[in-house]
Structure 1
Amino acid sequence: MSKIIIIGGGIGGISMAYEMRCLAGKEDEVMVVSDSETFHFVPSNPWVAVNWRKPADIKVELAPYLNKKDISFSAVGVKRVHPEENRLELCDGSDLIYDYLVIATGPRLAFEEVEGLGPEGFTHSICHVDHANNAAAAWDNFIQKPGPVVVGAAQGASCYGPAYEFAFIMDADLRKRRLRDQVPMVYVTPEPYIGHLGLGGVGDSKSMMEGLLRERHIKWITNAKVERVEDGMMHVLEHNEDGSEKQRHELPFSYSMMLPAFTGIEAVSNIEGLSNPRGFIKIDKYQRNPSYENIYAIGVCVAIAPLEKTPVPVGVPKTGYMIESMATAAAHNIRDALNGKAPSTEATWNAICLADMGDTGAAFVAIPQIPPRNVTWAKSGKWVHYAKIAYEKYFLHKVRKGTTEPIYERYILKALGINKLK
């Protein structure tokens, strides 16, 4: 009998739990340890932040559904991983011993790296459902007294789709209210150009995204470093391509949402051999940690080197399809280990991004994620908006039903007219 523990109850952790339960033996225990009693569908947070969704619409209580599939669950949270002892120190002071560990925690949000950034400062966040709910309350106040908006991502951020999404969703909501003419908007990003996305661009994403911003009268600043944020004012340093200073901007705002840089969570940070200096988990091509071969990692917590050197630090995103693929690979490789075999399954590291824009959307496909690529394209249209709604619907269904069905492969790829990704 082996005990397989998964840390994290998000998209990666839940996908992993259901996959592992199907592949593990009846005598093996599969357990999820989270810091929350509920799953919430993170890609819907931009909708929550403008009151198009309520938190209850995208939350699922985990224990009943996991237990129904014979998966143990704890919402105590992990204080520290002790890999030399195969031990988890939990936040309530208790311990858990594991045979195999899967780290699927997602990131820690490093708001403190920019003075005044984040919900405890002067900008909002859509990285967590609670942040998005607070942003929604502030949005209600904002529309009573509209003013300038600054939206985007801070230096070192590694997930740009939600920032673009929220800019366009705010624009759509304001147009519906006939308030858009009262709200100047600026998009601020460390990307070297609009549509870079941390991926070196996808197809003609630069021209497409610039065009979409122009159509909506959203100005932008690229190669941007946010130096500090004050109440109602953001101080931004724009760089030239060689990294030298180009221009300083003082951007007034009545409402701002800025994505922060990510790090690994404290429970896994500064552990020699396990995590890198930013706290992300080191893995080989089998999702396995090279130093501790009974530890695997999937999702945003995985260490991926930056694609290229840019004037301002830009991270590499991990999209939904990639995360599902990582979970499948890790589950099959743990099954190999249980059988006394070497790992044999590699994740398909392709990027598929669906960016909703309120009443339309943009889709990006990069196969593989890192160039040079076999397939690369970017398209926009109302169908992307509906594909994003379908993704939300089917993933929440997956959590409740405990299915191992890969949502992207079954539904999203079909919507994109793609039969298989290799």
Structure 2
Amino acid sequence: MSLPRIIVLGAGLGGTIAAYEIREATKGRAEVMVVSDTDDYWFVPSNPWVAVRWREPDAIRVHLPPVMKKRGIGFINVGCTRVHPTENRLDLGDGSMMMYDYLVIATGPELAFDEVKGLGPDGHTVSVCRTDHASHAADDFDAFCANPCPIVVGAAQGASCFGPAYEFALILDTELRKRKIRDQVPMTFVTSEPYIGHLGLDGVGDTKGLLESEMRNRHIKWVTNARITGVDDGMMHVEEVAEDGTVKKAHDLPFGYSMILPAFRGVKAVFGIEGLTNPRGFILADKHQRNPNFKNIYSLGVCVAIPPIGPTPVPVGVPKTGFMIESMVTAVAHNLASELDGKDPCEIPSWNAVCLADFGDGGVAFVAQPQIPPRNVNWASQGKWVHLAKVGFEKYFIHKVRSGTSEPLYEKLALQVLGINKLKQTTKGAA
């Protein structure tokens, strides 16, 4: 009799560690396989460093097939073109298909650059969303530094991942000062957030005050409630929206270099599947990370549908931070183990947030427990220690992926680096 097959769809931050934890939790009672469109894992949080050549891409890359083989996990690198949840089937990129008993969707998002004319690597702005994007951004930055002029950094309407935009703006400031050309580069931060430090979370602790102070100290101007209407070569067109939704002011911002984070949407393999996704293509999930309509499908990471914190003049999404994703992974692994034992799932991810925003010579850290307010812990701090902590954590996490360990490193970060006494990954709940 063959073992039940669990397929993890995606091999990014969430999918890779999910495969490790599921393999450990099921202890040989299931066949665990990963379906990915690439052989390599990239530590995406380091992409802003890649874009200024503080890291080379190979330093944050892990070649997955040998690691997966060592852990007894199947690995297929042709990607999935379509999920058929009513048939428990995947269509693969090479024209073949694969059946599953349980599916864990961890695809991450599709980057919706096309929703703003001229945005993205195929337009007039660079990106740090993928490591290959960041590598091209580094080439463009080198060329820019030979002829310094204004920079625009930020996040477009509908974006949900704001931390890398703040990081990159302040890392650019640090690098430009190192190159002694900061005085030749006016900088503007453009964001759909209603205020600096909102982060899609309505702020955490005093992120508003801390980040506004950093921006002022570094002579970075900003436009909030910003809707980018288009990007031309060297010019960004932005509408500043008032609380009532009307256009308060129009801005034409010249630039010689610009990085704007796009909105996300679900990947094509799942987009538009009734009962599986919301209209934006994100996977519907209950409190156990299980789809309410297809009970053998779980999801985790950026692909999960989470409603916004509340209404804002310009659409703002909710980020899925590393610790939050790790808590989803742990819950999914334990719930699949319960299902293999004939029990109902009972683990509920904590959705706590721990974030280190590095500025090159300092940074801001925050902890939100849980991520969605109201919170039991609502804390933020800043200092040079944040940069050092992120460097250390990069090494921790890449080692975790290379070694195939299921150790919860975000929790280790919270306990050891931030000095928090207890930050649980999951909780037991009624099935």
TM-score normalised per structure 1: 0.99
| Pick aligned residue for 2:126 from 118, 124, 127 | 124
| Pick aligned residue for 1:11 from 5, 13, 20 | 13
Q: How is 1:19-418 mapped onto 2 (pairs within 5 angstroms)?
A: 19-418=21-420
Cα separation, 2, equivalents of 1:117 and 1:366: 32
SS at match of 2:208: helix
User: Match of 1:408, as an amino acid?
Assistant: Y
Cα separation, 1, equivalents of 2:343 and 2:118: 51
Tell me how large the CA RMSD over aligned residues is: 0.8
2:423: which partner in 1?
Answer: 421
Q: Is the contact between residue 391 and residue 412 of structure 1 (CA under 8 Å) also seen in structure 2?
A: no
Cα separation, 1, equivalents of 2:13 and 2:356: 16
Cα separation, 1, equivalents of 2:195 and 2:415: 27
User: Match of 2:165, as an amino acid?
Assistant: A
Cα separation, 2, equivalents of 1:256 and 1:192: 21
For 1:315-337, what per-residue CA distance to the aligned partner results, in whole angstroms no more than 9, with x for missing partners?
00000000011000001001111
Shift of 1:351: 1.3
Cα separation, 2, equivalents of 1:419 and 1:96: 44
Shift of 1:25: 3.8
Shift of 1:256: 0.1
2:429: which partner in 1?
Answer: none
Q: Is the contact between residue 387 and residue 415 of structure 1 (CA under 8 Å) also seen in structure 2?
A: yes
Q: Is the contact between residue 157 and residue 191 of structure 2 (CA under 8 Å) also seen in structure 1?
A: yes
Q: Is the contact between residue 354 and residue 414 of structure 2 (CA under 8 Å) also seen in structure 1?
A: no
For 1:178-208, what per-residue CA distance to the aligned partner results, in whole angstroms no more than 9, with x for missing partners?
0100000000000000000000011111111
Q: Is the contact between residue 283 and residue 289 of structure 1 (CA under 8 Å) also seen in structure 2?
A: yes
User: Match of 1:403, as an amino acid?
Assistant: T
When the two structures are aligned, how many residues end up with a matched partner? 422
For 1:156-183, what per-residue CA distance to the aligned partner results, in whole angstroms no more than 9, with x for missing partners?
0000000000000000000011010000
User: Match of 1:307, as an amino acid?
Assistant: I
Cα separation, 2, equivalents of 1:411 and 1:112: 36
User: Match of 2:140, as an amino acid?
Assistant: A
Cα separation, 1, equivalents of 2:146 and 2:340: 60
Query: Quick one: percent identity of the two aligned structures?
Result: 64
Structure 1 runs, 4 residues or longer, greater than 4 Å off: none
Cα separation, 1, equivalents of 2:358 and 2:414: 14
Q: Is the contact between residue 29 and residue 340 of structure 2 (CA under 8 Å) also seen in structure 1?
A: no
User: Match of 1:251, as an amino acid?
Assistant: L
For 1:136-174, what per-residue CA distance to the aligned partner results, in whole angstroms no more than 9, with x for missing partners?
000110111111000000000000000000000000000
TM-score normalised per structure 2: 0.97
Shift of 1:27: 4.5
For structure 2, list consecutive stretches of 5 or more residues without a partner in the other structure.
425-431
For 1:202-223, what per-residue CA distance to the aligned partner results, in whole angstroms no more than 9, with x for missing partners?
1111111100000000000000
SS at match of 2:104: strand
User: Match of 2:250, as an amino acid?
Assistant: R
User: Match of 2:176, as an amino acid?
Assistant: L
Q: Is the contact between residue 51 and residue 135 of structure 2 (CA under 8 Å) also seen in structure 1?
A: yes
Q: Is the contact between residue 270 and residue 277 of structure 1 (CA under 8 Å) also seen in structure 2?
A: yes
SS at match of 1:196: coil
Cα separation, 2, equivalents of 1:112 and 1:413: 41
For structure 1, list consecutive stretches of 5 or more residues without a partner in the other structure.
none
Cα separation, 1, equivalents of 2:312 and 2:413: 35
Q: Is the contact between residue 387 and residue 412 of structure 1 (CA under 8 Å) also seen in structure 2?
A: no
